[in-house]
Amino acid sequence: MSDIPGARPVPVSHLTRAQDRLTFLYLEHCVVNRDANAITAQDTRGTVHIPAATLGALLLGPGTTISQQAMVLLAESGSTAVWVGEHGVRYYAHGRTLTHSSRLLERQAALVSNQTSRLRVARRMYAMRFPDEDTSRLTMQQLRGREGARVRGIYRAHSSRTGVPWEGRDYNTADFDDGTPVNQALSAANTSLYGVVHAVIVALGLAPGLGFIHTGHIRSFVYDVADLYKTEITIPIAFDIAARDAGDIGAVTRREVRDRMKDGAFLETCVRDIKTLLADPDEAEAVEYGPEAFENPDVVMLWDTNGRTVAAGTSYGDYGEFDDFDDDGAGP
């Protein structure tokens, strides 16, 4: 039998866990290709090799051309390719999970489909944002009110700290330059944050669209998780950049966000927080959902109504039981 055409997939054992990867890398005005298990970026200055298995998200800016084989390698490596427009404020993403088990995804779907458990997870998210308050009995309306007041206070505090005027979050999605410097920096910083969080969520095998606080959008869960970190990362960075009167606000902001994430081991924190949010309160310890957690990654099971699973690829019936049925299964 002949080999399947195309490059061989990257073995799961060769992949890096989501929490141990680089946060993101931004490229523009270059040609992106593949060399073995590395991504290459080539422009007039030369060629740079990037190990795909250690990359969380690759942000592709204006003027980039990427080959089919480079995209194949990113997908097999569990890395997320994010196409961003000028200044990095438009967003499109694709990625493939690092895991082969649906356990965590099923857990997410079960929690978001039940009003009681969904509210419990939402309260956990708000509790992470203001740990000094008891959120266990607050309604969603009360949680939103407290969050709004908290964020407005944080904007005012950073405005006072940096001397940058603040008149509210106001931006034009069709014209990046139409916003004030601080609003431009916020847009660029939040886009970078969304890209990295999206990469982590996809790497863990979760659904970006199944949010607990946000809903109705393909990245609702991305926005849920990203909101946990804006007051620590994107908001202070945006005010600092605006205070400097930086020339290229988008580029400077992305570099600042990347450095802050690296220094604070952001990927490890993000993975841990997501697992905590979705954890069963009765579980004694956290479950590792990286590729090393599944010794048989391609095992597929069959669902049963007794709450357990049974092995697939097995015949469970005696053909004699179905002798009264036609070949099309329609019955006698």
The confidence score (pLDDT) of residue 280 equals 76
Minimum mean pLDDT among 51-65, 98-112, 117-131: which range? 51-65
Would you give the end-to-end CA distance of the chain in angstroms? 42
Q: CATH no. for residue 126? A: 1.20.120.920
The confidence score (pLDDT) of residue 214 equals 94
The yes-or-no verdict on residue 111 having pLDDT over 70 is yes
Same domain, 87 and 144: no
37 — pLDDT class (breaks 50, 70, 90): confident
Same domain, 194 and 66: no
Q: CATH no. for residue 84? A: 3.100.10.20
User: Is 29 annotated in some ligand binding site?
Assistant: no
For 117-181, the DSSP string reads HHHHHHHHHHHHH-TTS--TT--HHHHHHHHHHHHHHHHHHHHHHH---------BTTBGGGS-H
Give percent above pLDDT 90 in the chain: 33
224 — pLDDT class (breaks 50, 70, 90): very high
195 within domain boundaries: yes
d(CA 276, CA 144): 21
Residue where one domain finishes, among candidates 278, 298, 325? 278
Same domain, 79 and 113: no
Domain count, the chain: 2
CB 257 within 8 A of CB 233: yes
The confidence score (pLDDT) of residue 13 equals 46
d(CA 208, CA 225): 10
Q: Is 37 exposed, middle or buried (0-12, 13-18, 19+ CB in 10 A)?
A: middle
The confidence score (pLDDT) of residue 154 equals 94
The yes-or-no verdict on residue 26 having pLDDT over 90 is no
Same domain, 86 and 161: no
Which residue in the block uniquely carries the two structure tokens 């992470």? 128
Same domain, 229 and 108: yes
167 within domain boundaries: yes
Same domain, 152 and 222: yes
- Of these ranges, 154-168, 251-265, 270-284, the one predicted with the greatest mean pLDDT is 154-168
318 — pLDDT class (breaks 50, 70, 90): low
The confidence score (pLDDT) of residue 91 equals 59
- Of these ranges, 20-24, 45-49, 311-315, the one predicted with the greatest mean pLDDT is 45-49
327 — pLDDT class (breaks 50, 70, 90): very low
Per residue in 230-271, pLDDT (tens digit) is: 999 999 999 999 998 777 888 899 889 988 887 667 888 898
303 within domain boundaries: no
The confidence score (pLDDT) of residue 4 equals 47
The yes-or-no verdict on residue 63 having pLDDT over 50 is yes
Average pLDDT over residues 131-148: 88
Same domain, 247 and 120: yes
Phi, psi for 56 (deg, rounded to 5): -80, -55
The confidence score (pLDDT) of residue 88 equals 52
- Of these ranges, 68-72, 80-84, 150-154, 287-291, the one predicted with the greatest mean pLDDT is 150-154
The yes-or-no verdict on residue 96 having pLDDT over 70 is no
Same domain, 231 and 112: yes
d(CA 118, CA 110): 9
Average pLDDT over residues 75-84: 75
User: Is 87 annotated in some ligand binding site?
Assistant: no
302 within domain boundaries: no
For 204-243, the DSSP string reads TT--TT--SSS-SSTTHHHHHHHTTTTTTTHHHHHHHHHH
Same domain, 39 and 111: no
Instruction: Say which residues have a Cβ less than 8 Å from residue 25's Cβ, sequence separation at least 6.
Output: 50, 55, 57, 58, 59
The confidence score (pLDDT) of residue 81 equals 79
Average pLDDT over residues 5-14: 49
Same domain, 85 and 115: no
d(CA 98, CA 263): 24
CB 194 within 8 A of CB 221: no
Same domain, 173 and 250: yes
Range(s) of the domain holding residue 273: 103-278
d(CA 119, CA 210): 14
Under DSSP, the state recorded for 264 is T
234 within domain boundaries: yes
154 within domain boundaries: yes
44 within domain boundaries: yes
Residue where one domain finishes, among candidates 71, 94, 117? 94
Per residue in 180-216, pLDDT (tens digit) is: 899 999 998 998 899 888 878 887 889 999 999 999 9
What residues form DSSP beta bridges with 60? 27, 83
Q: Which of 227, 156, 161 is nearest to 169 (CA)?
A: 156
Average pLDDT over residues 106-126: 94
Same domain, 163 and 208: yes
Pairwise pLDDT comparison (228 vs 7), residue with the higher score? 228
d(CA 197, CA 274): 10
d(CA 158, CA 152): 10
Strand-pair category, 55-60 with 80-83: parallel
* Integer-rounded Cα radius of gyration of the chain: 23
The confidence score (pLDDT) of residue 278 equals 93
Pairwise pLDDT comparison (300 vs 212), residue with the higher score? 212
60 — pLDDT class (breaks 50, 70, 90): confident
124 within domain boundaries: yes
